[in-house]
Amino acid sequence: MLSAFRAALTTPDLRKKILFTLGVVAVYRLGANIPSPGVSYPNVQECLRQVEGSENAGIYSLINLFSGGALLQLSILALGIMPYITASIIIQLLTVVIPRFEALKKEGQSGQNKLTQYTRYLTIALAILQATGIVSLANSGALLGNCPGIIPDDSVFNLAVIVIVMTAGTAIVMWLGEQVTEKGVGNGMSLLIFASIAHRIPAEGMNILNNAGPLVFAGVCVFGLAIIVSVVFVEQGQRRIPVQYAKRMVGRRMYGGTSTYLPLKVNQAGVIPVIFGSSLLYLPDLVARLVGNDGGWFQQFVQTYLVDQSNWLHILLYVALIIFFTYFYVGITFNPEERADEMKKFGGFIPGIRPGRPTAEYLNFVLSRITLPGSLYLGIIAVLPNFFLGVTGSGQNQNFPFGGTAVLIMVGVGLDTVKQIESQLMQRNYEGFLR
Amino acid sequence: MSDEEAGRERPRSAADRRGRRASSSGSEASGAVTAGKGRPTRSRGESAPKKASIFARLVRFLREVVAELRKVIWPTRKQLVTYTIVVLVFVAFMVALVSLLDWVFGLGVEALFGA
Q: Report yes or no: B60 and A166 within 8 Å, Cβ to Cβ.
A: no
Residue A27 has pLDDT above 90, yes or no: yes
Residue A256 has pLDDT above 70, yes or no: no
Size of interface A-B (CB pairs under 8 A): 136
Residue B69 lies in a domain: no
For the stretch A301-318, pLDDT in tens is 776 666 666 677 888 888
**Which residues of chain A form CATH 1.10.3370.10?**
1-199, 209-402
Q: How far apart are CA A330 and CA A322, in angstroms?
A: 12
| A29 contacts chain B (CB < 8 A) | yes
Question: How does DSSP assign A104-164, residue by residue?
Answer: HHHT-HHHHHHHHHHHHHHHHHHHHHHHHHHHHHHHHTTTTTS---SSS---HHHHHHHHH
For the stretch A53-104, pLDDT in tens is 554 544 555 566 666 667 777 888 888 888 888 898 888 888 888 888 888 8
Question: How does DSSP assign A155-191, residue by residue?
Answer: -HHHHHHHHHHHHHHHHHHHHHHHHHHHHSSS-HHHH
Mean pLDDT of A146-174: 84
What's the whole-model pTM score? Answer: 0.77
* Cα end-to-end distance, chain A, whole Å: 8
Q: How far apart are CA A412 and CA A193, in angstroms?
A: 12
Nearest residue in A to B74, CA atom: A237
Nearest residue in B to A191, CA atom: B94
ipTM over 0.85? The verdict is no
Which residue among B34, B40, B69 places its CB closest to the CB of A373?
Answer: B69
Residue B73 lies in a domain: no
Nearest residue in A to B93, CA atom: A198
- B77 versus A400: the higher-pLDDT residue is B77
Rounded percentage of chain A residues whose pLDDT exceeds 90? 14
Please judge whether A239 and B68 are an interchain contact, meaning their C-beta atoms are less than 8 angstroms apart.
yes
For the stretch A340-376, pLDDT in tens is 888 888 888 888 888 888 999 999 999 999 999 999 9
- A14 versus A141: the higher-pLDDT residue is A14
Query: Distance, in angstroms, between B64 CA and closest chain A CA?
Result: 7
| A435 contacts chain B (CB < 8 A) | yes
Collapsed DSSP state (helix, strand, coil) of residue A38: coil
Q: How far apart are CA A266 and CA A50, in angstroms?
A: 45
| Candidates 3.40.50.970, 1.20.1260.10, 1.10.3370.10, 3.40.50.300; CATH matching A209-402 | 1.10.3370.10
Residue A330 has pLDDT above 80, yes or no: yes
For the stretch A394-419, pLDDT in tens is 434 444 556 677 888 888 888 888 88
The CATH code that applies to domain A1-199 is 1.10.3370.10
Residue B13 lies in a domain: yes
Q: How confident is the model at residue A300 (pLDDT cuts 50, 70, 90)?
A: confident
Residue B55 lies in a domain: no
Could you tell me the CA-to-CA distances from A376 to A333, A335, A380 in Å, in that order?
19, 22, 6
Q: Give residue B26's domain range.
A: 1-45
Residue B72 lies in a domain: no
Please judge whether A201 and B6 are an interchain contact, meaning their C-beta atoms are less than 8 angstroms apart.
no
Please judge whether B73 and A238 are an interchain contact, meaning their C-beta atoms are less than 8 angstroms apart.
yes
Which residue among B13, B87, B113 places its CB closest to the CB of A411?
Answer: B87
Q: How far apart are CA A284 and CA A271, in angstroms?
A: 22
Average pLDDT, chain A: 80
Total domains, chain B: 1
| SS3 sequence of A42-91 | HHHHHHHHHHHHCHHHHHHHHHHHHHCCHHHHCECCCCCCHHHHHHHHHH
Site from A24, A185, A241, A261 to mutate, B interface, most B CB atoms within 10 angstroms: A261
- A359 versus A254: the higher-pLDDT residue is A359
Lowest pLDDT segment from A188-197, A389-398, B75-84:
A389-398
Residue A324 has pLDDT above 90, yes or no: yes
